[in-house]
Structure formats: structure tokens, C-alpha cells
Amino acid sequence: MNVKKSGEIFEEFSRFNDDSVMLAFRGEVSGTLLDSLLEIAEKRLHHLGCEKPTRKKAFNILVECLQNLFVHGNEDILEEEPSGVIIMMASDDGISIATGNSIHKNAAEMLKSRLERLEALPKELIREEYKEQLVNGKFSNVGGAGLGFLDIARKSGRQMEYQFSPIDDERLFFTFNVKVS
């Protein structure tokens, strides 16, 4: 029998899971899991001791990110088991929230053009764009209002970064990182 030393396992674990990681999860984000993750995140944010406005922004953004994963993270029908990723980390100058999920190339094209448009927007117009979308946007068939990324951009001061990495001919892995400070 070849059993790995427990100390080694914990060493490996602590290498990527130090105190700065407030929350990390990979797998299918179901409704009940989403609720639990939010509950844990809220407690950790509370204990972090950062300013309340920063804490509230981070929680708000986390809600949008997790709900994005919940709604869009399971759309890839080629994937045997949905593997959405969420990582929330604290640093000296703020809180980062990163998500990852596989996405079909057609959906990726649409998402990319939306994010590019958002990036090109002068900062002072983000609020106007949000209002415009609030008034004229329609609910999509999955319950989104098309406001998620606009809201994230607004609340983070658009400290955002994203990438699309090819998985195969049909799919890409979308990673997104937003920082609140």
C-alpha cells in the first residue's frame, strides 16, 4: 500500500491556499451551493476588517460573478461535468474576484465584443450606459438583465481583466478577474 504522507498533502494544499485566499471553488455551481458560497464569503469579508464600502462592493460583485457562473457556467453541453471556478483573494490593496468557465465559441464572440465595447467606453459614460441598459434592456431567457458586467465595471472603477483560451475547435475557457480597492 502506498499512502501519501498527510503532511505532504497539507503542504501542497497550503501552497495555493494561504491566508490570502478567502474562497476557492471548482465544479458545478448549483443554486444551493451558490447560497452557501455567498454565506461563507460574507463572513470572511466581515472578518477581513476592510472598510465597509469596499466590503459591500466586493460582495455585490461576487453575487454578480457567481450568478454569471450559475446561469452561463453550465451552458457548455460538451462538457461532461461543469467546472466553473471562483477564487476570491485579499491583498494589501484590495480584494480580487476571479472566475473561469468554458464557453462555446459563438457565445465567446458575443461576450468578447460586449467586454471590448465596455473597455472602450470612457469611464464617465459607464453610469450612463448602465442607465440606458436598465431602461431599454430586456430580460434574457435565462433571467439576466444584461447589466452584470456594466455593474461590475461601475463598482470596481473598471479594474478588470479577462482572457479567452482555446480548449478545442468548439470551446474556449473564459477567465475574468476584477479588483475592488
Partner 1 sequence: MEDIKIEGTPKTPSVDFKAVDGTLEIKGRSIPENSIEFYKPLMDWIEHYAKTPQDKSTVNIQLEYFNTSSSKCILDLFKKLEAINNEIVINWYYEEDDEDMLEAGEDYDAIINIPFKMIEVEEI
Q: Which residues bind partner 1 (CB under 8 A)?
A: 31, 34-35, 38-39, 51-53, 56-57, 59-60, 63-64, 67, 70-71, 127, 130-131, 134-135, 137, 139, 143-145, 147-148, 150-151, 154-155
Kindly state the smallest distance separating residue 22's Cβ from partner 1, in Å: 18
Cβ-based nearer residue to partner 1, 38 or 107: 38
Hey, is 36 helix, strand or coil?
helix
Sign of the C-alpha dihedral computed for residues 164, 101, 56 and 144 taken in this order: positive
Other beta carbons within 10 angstroms of residue 26's beta carbon come to 12
Helices (H), the chain: 6-16, 31-48, 52-72, 105-120, 126-136, 148-156
Kindly state the smallest distance separating residue 80's Cβ from partner 1, in Å: 24
Sign of the C-alpha dihedral computed for residues 38, 41, 45 and 46 taken in this order: positive
